Structure 1
Amino acid sequence: MLKAGGRVVLVDNVAPDDDPATDTFWQMMEYLRDTSHVRAHSVAQWRAMFTETGFNVEVRHRWKKRLEFQPWVERIGTPHFNQAMIKTLLDDASQAVHEWLQIDEHYNFTLHAALFVGIKTA
């Protein structure tokens, strides 16, 4: 609970705002890696959730994080079968997905992240 004027800061990976197919691809990759994954929200979705819960929100910073595929799947203990499925998805990915994730020949890719600051209105 925050009183009026209180601040909440959130940092999270974000999905694309304007490409449902790439968003779905990203959600599937995340789920195959970690079956407890629920959803990576877009910046627009985060803004809406902040606003709907009584916050003014600013996106203070957006950035990209380059990840190596193998450590990414190993750190959470992704089963080998799921790792292979993710690689198959990446092999067959659309041009839009390749552009969003910047996939290389070793399956390394780029995540998108954002820092939000919400200020409670009342």
Structure 2
Amino acid sequence: MTLLSNKLSEELKYETQAIEGGPIVPEFSQIFKKQGVWEKENVPYHNEILLTRNLRLIVDIRTELEEERQDSAAEEDDDPGQEALNIYPIRPSLSITKMGPWRRDRLNPTHHNLPML
């Protein structure tokens, strides 16, 4: 029983020092921040942290379109009676996060295979 009470008193001491003495940042957290890849948001008295990162993507759709056209050209050679349509699938993805003091709502609508004329 004394072991449990010692552990609880150490935990309570750690928590009171963390609140009174300012933020005590562990070494791994300092290294994580120094890397600068992610931004960390920590709200006191919450058991969650928020990691954010900006991503920039560059996509060359011409190569994908050329490959699709080559594939469709091979299919057209097999069936010359069909008319070629320029229909490409669109796969948009949108993530909306609405944050408030008491709730966090997330909406992830995704649509696949929408034709683009």
Fold match (TM-score > 0.5): no
In which range does the TM-score fall when normalised by the shorter chain? under 0.3
- Provide the TM-score with structure 2 as the length reference: 0.22
- Provide the TM-score with structure 1 as the length reference: 0.21
Instruction: Please identify the structure whose Cα radius of gyration is greater.
Output: 2
Higher relative contact order (CA 8 A, sep 6+): 1
